[in-house]
Structure formats: structure tokens, C-alpha cells
């Protein structure tokens, strides 16, 4: 349900914003098209860049021993749509977004894409009104815990890449021929997918999930665990 009173949101965000830019940051294009107003997509564009810089700068300073690849994985995980949607839900941001009738009916307040875009718009609004040091403090307040969790995940940030790199390191053949076999079972609304990972004809891992992507990642995780525990079944 829409809540026009943003006092609690601003308190949770950590800094207040002037009414006009706050309203713009919280206005989805679906509302704008129905009411003939501006929307927050330009702010999203700017906020994405500001967020990326702040996250990259923090990771660079805090993890001096990490390679470019390691830092890139942590950054990608911590500023992803999924990560920003987590931040949005902690702020109860969905209830403050101005949505059009269609988006409202289809659950727009809970869509990761809308939530993450609105976080980026708020970041841009904060930068424009208060400058870099203030927006840095706000971003670090909300994003640093996610960065730390991402850094702790290690290979889980990208199971496929982790498996491929370890396989090459150990001299496992056919890494360039990695492929999946995926099957789905059950009704469309509750379908479960099973993915099997092969290097050429050699079986290495299996995983299940609610989508093909999740099942493939699970298969990569299984393959990585088999590889590192030296029980790779082929």
C-alpha cells in the first residue's frame, strides 16, 4: 500500500532530501505516464554510476591483496539488482514508490527491478543535494554490510568461474567444453529444474532449483565441491 509520508523513510535512509527531488526519486515511470509528470530514470542512471564508484573505491581500499577479478566479483555482487532490492526491503521502500495502476496490480512494490532502481535514484538525489561525502556515508551505511558478506562468500560469488579456474589449475581436461543438461519437472507455477554439468562427456556436478539459472549455479557449486574434495565423479 502506498504511503505518502516519507518521514520514516528519510530517517532510515540517513539523510533528508528536499521534497521535490525526493518525490522525483520515488516516482516510477508508470506513475509519470499516467499523471504527466517526470520520473526517476535519469536519477537511476546517475545513481548507478555514483554507487559503482563508491563501492569500487571502498573495496579497493579495504582489500589491498585482492586481484582485479576478485574485486570485480565482490563489486558486482554488492551492487546487483538483488543486493539493492535487499537494501530497499530493509527500508520498506516499496511502500513509498509512486506506481501506476498497472504496476500496482502486478505487485510492482515487490519487484526487485523497481526496488533496486529506486535505491539508485535515491543515491543520485542524495548526491545532487548533499554532495559526494554525504552520499558516500549513506551508501557505505547501507551497502558495506553487503560488500562484507559478498567478500566472505569467496567462490560462491561465481561458482562457474570458480570451478573453471580450479579445474584449469589442476589440469582437468576439456574445461573449454563445459556444458549443461537441464530437465524440468512439475507444473509451470511450481516447476523444479535439474541441471547436470559436464566437461565434454565427463560428468562433474548436479543441482536443482526453481529456474534453469539457479539449477546451473547449483550444479557448478556441486562440481566445485567435488573438485576441491578430490571426489569428482566422471
Contact 104, 27 (CB under 8 A): no
Backbone angle region of 177, left / alpha / beta, with phi > 0 → left and psi within -120 to 50 → alpha:
alpha
Residues 6+ apart with CB under 8 A from 131: none
Catalytic annotation, residues: 48, 120
Instruction: Express each pLDDT in 36-90 by its tens digit.
Output: 999 999 999 999 999 999 999 999 999 999 888 788 878 887 888 888 999 999 9
Per the model's pLDDT, the better-predicted residue between 169 and 49 turns out to be 49
Is the pLDDT score of 117 beyond 90? yes
**Stretch among 50-54, 98-102, 174-178, 216-220 having the lowest mean pLDDT:** 216-220
Is the pLDDT score of 233 beyond 50? no
Element (H, E) at 206: strand 202-209
Query: In what order do the strands lie in the sheet containing 192-199?
Result: 178-185, 192-199, 202-209
Q: What is the mean pLDDT of the chain?
A: 90
Residue 231 confidence (pLDDT)? 44
Is the pLDDT score of 190 beyond 50? yes
* DSSP letter assigned to residue 70: H
Assigned C-alpha cell, 118: 529506486
Residue 211 confidence (pLDDT)? 84
| Overall average pLDDT of the 12-34 stretch | 97
**Stretch among 79-88, 89-98, 117-126 having the lowest mean pLDDT:** 79-88
Residue 156 confidence (pLDDT)? 63
Q: Which of 105, 86, 99, 226 is nearest to 155 (CA)?
A: 226
H helices within 14-158, ranges in order? 19-25, 29-35, 41-62, 68-78, 81-90, 101-105, 112-130, 132-153
Residue 157 confidence (pLDDT)? 67
| Overall average pLDDT of the 27-44 stretch | 96
Query: Over pLDDT 90: what percentage of the chain?
Result: 61
Angle at 34 between CA 33 and CA 35, to 5 degrees: 95
Beta strand 202-209 pairing with 178-185: unpaired
Amino acid at each position: 500500500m502506498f504511503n505518502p509520508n516519507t518521514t520514516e523513510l528519510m530517517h532510515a535512509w540517513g539523510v533528508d532530501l528536499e521534497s521535490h527531488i525526493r518525490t522525483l526519486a520515488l516516482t516510477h515511470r508508470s506513475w509519470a505516464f499516467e499523471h504527466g509528470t517526470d520520473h526517476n530514470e535519469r536519477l537511476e542512471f546517475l545513481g548507478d554510476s555514483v554507487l559503482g564508484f563508491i563501492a569500487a573505491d571502498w573495496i579497493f581500499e579495504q582489500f589491498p591483496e585482492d586481484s582485479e577479478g576478485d574485486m570485480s566479483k565482490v563489486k558486482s555482487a554488492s551492487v546487483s539488482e538483488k543486493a539493492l532490492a535487499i537494501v530497499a526491503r530493509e527500508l520498506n521502500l516499496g511502500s513509498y514508490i509512486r506506481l501506476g495502476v498497472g504496476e500496482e496490480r502486478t505487485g510492482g512494490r515487490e519487484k526487485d527491478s523497481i526496488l533496486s532502481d529506486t535505491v539508485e535514484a535515491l543515491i543520485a538525489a542524495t548526491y545532487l543535494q548533499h554532495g559526494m561525502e554525504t552520499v558516500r556515508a549513506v551508501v557505505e551505511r547501507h551497502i558495506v554490510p553487503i560488500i562484507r558478506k559478498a567478500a566472505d562468500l569467496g567462490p560462491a560469488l561465481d561458482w562457474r568461474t570458480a570451478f573453471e579456474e580450479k579445474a584449469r589449475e589442476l589440469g582437468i581436461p576439456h574445461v573449454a567444453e563445459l556444458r549443461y543438461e537441464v530437465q524440468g519437472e512439475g507444473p509451470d507455477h511450481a516447476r523444479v529444474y535439474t541441471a547436470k554439468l559436464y566437461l565434454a562427456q565427463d560428468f562433474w556436478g548436479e543441482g536443482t532449483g526453481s529456474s534453469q539459472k539457479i539449477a546451473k549455479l547449483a550444479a557448478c557449486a556441486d562440481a566445485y565441491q567435488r573438485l576441491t574434495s578430490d571426489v569428482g565423479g566422471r
